Structure 1
């Protein structure tokens, strides 16, 4: 079939790759001049199946209330007169029950394990390199209560097949010696040796180039304006692009259409009467140059207490995290940027380069229960692969392989509640 993929982030590009591998004729449309320039640009860099515990859990409502008004809070709601934000918030509360949280965790772990295996196979098949490291992910804790609370979640993940093992403080320092310099004592952690890290933007760029060399067409600097519906099918996607100062409108047509527009997906789907519970969660990152390589971590780390992740990307350290629910606002907040540096300098005080940190923010497409939308919509030839929240890089290859199977009329191997 002819398939048009809307969006050239990591989810859109991996979807295009696996669709082409399945024998389809694929065109990718994106408003940016190249692949991976929005939410995939400077994320935390983790392939983190171990990070599958949903934001929506029984403790979340109380923590969220505690953080209201704190400018540097890990999770910050800027309440607006926005029906979409309030609807999302109510659905979030519904997902916080123990049963819902447990079910969502199980689904996210299964999808994550499947996705990691697909990424590893893709890397073996293509030889792609993107500052990848296969040294695992260590969740460390500087607070005893946080550490104690992490132990049941680790046990629940082990029951589903993820090797998230509990470690004492000495074992954590043995796994990542750079933590020994921390100004705050490490009290314990959990370690998933099979998780990975790498630069999502580099991966997306390299895979897009490889896909293009194998016949996938990329239409960059092309804005998607609307879906044209005819009966129970999509008849085409209307796009705009600039040509010598003039705006050109064109209708692109295919047999099937796949929406991979991240936080912007619900705006497009609303045109055809479909409501998606996706709301943008603005995440921040700082990329810090590393001069003294032995003082910076090489194992990817998660600071659960502050909701931050650390990934070594060659001669750079990427620290990312926090979530700010502030609509489609993309302004950098200096307080939240400096909160990243403050916490990082407490844990790694001897790293030089904090003054040269590059800050970035991006909109992560969050669903109330953290489960992405993957599958066929109620419009026959319109498919979705969106809403991955903080796990877009982790889940990209698995959700892309699954959607390629679904478009091809086959059932994916992974157990997941597909649309």
Structure 2
């Protein structure tokens, strides 16, 4: 319990913009710190955009940048393939091409490891927050333990050697498996598809992110967070130690604001002179009801070749992946659908009714280096919590706690080097 005399000196009126897992987590930790918190969301409820299509992965050790060595070659080859993990929806957009060049520039091992270390530092901290939250509130969000990463070729498997060394150095619990060991660990894995090897992470987890977010909403609401739905913040400005938010014809004043609006964050930040390389990347999920439990996955699975994941969500399987670049709508791309269905047919062909599955596609916010951007900005009392990409849930709670600590005048509990706006000023 926070002493009342301390509350009087530190309590602030804080507005959080965005009702996804990032914004809601931020609102939760702010109210736990004793602040008066209002969350503004332009949709009718929390978790209605990118959180709704979350992959379900809570994979701390597997939180790594998408862009790896050979990323440009992968994108180009995908133009001529029936299936691809990355789809370029080519358009004459100079800003897209600049972002692509930055995203795929110099993905050498040292740079990759630097970005991975930053992501995993935040994800590990987030996992600590999740365990505490579960202990405090006994949450049940269809969670299960264990992640199996499979490799189709010896070349793919051998390329993980530096990653294995880094995980060993960081004491990440994992086992290196040959083909027979993969099959023994996950007997339901379809034997017609050869497996070169795998990595097993016993402490990693998966679950229903939408269910988790709605449970967290109930907790936050009981703690005092005020929710305002069907409201859109058009612009923000900071002056005289306060922040003004323009909502339609009205102006709302607060002591601080946190921009956590996903892909909608960029226009708000541009409005106050903060330009960050935030790009909307279209991604996909297929969610299917299990029909044969004896051949359904027991573990979460990640296919390294296609960057596709499969997670068990109670009575359903969620298949997620694909990064479509340059898309301006939410139509289903045939190549993306073929890729997701290929992975399901390769590994668990008889487990679920895939062709009667629920399809979802939407945009996730991704920065060019794929590392989230969190914390204070150069504008007084304006904070950001954006750019978590496809690993949003894995990093959400840790990022939210850091922002809440900063607003409360406390030092974050982990090193935040490389996670703030300072990395763009070097």
Cα contact 2:239–2:380 (8 A) shared by 1: no
What is the SS of the residue equivalent to 2:52? coil
One of 167, 184, 190 as aligned partner of 2:193:
184
Pairing of 1:234-253 with structure 2 (within 5 A): 235-240=243-248, 249-253=249-253
Q: C-alpha separation between the residues in 1 aligned to 2:416 and 2:188?
A: 38
What is the SS of the residue equivalent to 1:257? strand
What is the SS of the residue equivalent to 1:137? strand
Pairing of 1:364-383 with structure 2 (within 5 A): 364-383=364-383
Matched, 1:32 2:32: no
Matched, 1:72 2:88: no
One of 156, 163, 168 as aligned partner of 2:166:
156
Partner of 2:323 in structure 1? 323
Q: C-alpha separation between the residues in 2 aligned to 1:46 and 1:160?
A: 20
Q: C-alpha separation between the residues in 2 aligned to 1:132 and 1:387?
A: 25
One of 220, 224, 228 as aligned partner of 2:229:
220
Deviations 1:306-362 (A, max 9, x none): 110010000000000010012442222233223212220121122241221110012
Q: C-alpha separation between the residues in 2 aligned to 1:226 and 1:161?
A: 45
Partner of 1:246 in structure 2? none
Matched, 1:348 2:322: no
Matched, 1:138 2:151: no
The CA deviation at 1:68 is: 3.1
Deviations 1:256-304 (A, max 9, x none): 1001111221121111111111111111000010022221112111001
Select between 377-386 and 219-228 the one with higher mean Cα deviation.
Answer: 219-228
> TM-score, normalised on structure 1?
0.93
Partner of 1:200 in structure 2? 209
Select between 47-56 and 189-198 the one with higher mean Cα deviation.
Answer: 47-56
Pairing of 1:10-409 with structure 2 (within 5 A): 10-70=21-81, 72-94=83-105, 96-133=107-144, 135-179=145-189, 181-230=190-239, 235-240=243-248, 249-409=249-409
Q: C-alpha separation between the residues in 1 aligned to 2:242 and 2:273?
A: 12
> TM-score, normalised on structure 2?
0.91
Judged with a 3 Å threshold, the aligned counterparts in structure 2 of structure 1 residues 282 and 251 are, in CA distance, closer, same or farther, namely: same
Cα contact 2:85–2:339 (8 A) shared by 1: no
Matched, 1:3 2:14: yes
The CA deviation at 1:388 is: 0.4
Deviations 1:213-244 (A, max 9, x none): 2210000111121113437x66311124xxxx
Listed as ranges, the gaps of 5+ residues in structure 1 are: 241-248
* Equivalent pairs, count: 408
Q: C-alpha separation between the residues in 2 aligned to 1:57 and 1:293?
A: 35
The CA deviation at 1:52 is: 2.5
Listed as ranges, the gaps of 5+ residues in structure 2 are: 1-11, 421-426
Q: C-alpha separation between the residues in 2 aligned to 1:328 and 1:234?
A: 35
Superposed CA RMSD in Å reads 1.7
The CA deviation at 1:386 is: 0.6
Q: C-alpha separation between the residues in 2 aligned to 1:416 and 1:228?
A: 26
The CA deviation at 1:95 is: 5.1
Judged with a 3 Å threshold, the aligned counterparts in structure 2 of structure 1 residues 255 and 385 are, in CA distance, closer, same or farther, namely: same
